[in-house]
Amino acid sequence: MANITRLFKQEKLIVAGPFLDDTSWRGIFIFDAKSKEEVEELLKTDPAISSGRLAYEIHPWMTQKGTCFK
């Protein structure tokens, strides 16, 4: 959780959380980053990913400026 908090305070991590259904995907991170390479570097700071316990897929996504989550 410390890494997630750090990335949030850096305004790089916008949304993070687990999926509640029984799938092979464990959760989601939505980053504010300029490139796939930047996202990869941010993901490498996650202990579960760097240890190999979890893997990731990167999917580009965009939304309208000012959209918020509640």
Quote the number of domains for the chain: 1
Domain assignment present for residue 19? The answer is yes
Domain assignment present for residue 67? The answer is no
> How high does pLDDT run on average in the chain?
91
For residue 67, the model assigns a pLDDT of 77
pLDDT, tens digit, for every residue of 7-34? 999 999 999 999 999 888 999 999 999 9
Each residue of 40-50: b (16+ CB within 10 Å) or e? eebbeebeebe
Least confident stretch, 2-6, 39-43, 66-70: 66-70
Cα–Cα distance measured from residue 1 to residue 47, given in angstroms and rounded to the nearest whole number: 10
Is the per-residue pLDDT at 68 higher than 80?
no
Looking at residues 25-48, what average pLDDT do you find?
94
Domain hosting residue 44, numbered range = 2-50
Is the per-residue pLDDT at 62 higher than 90?
no
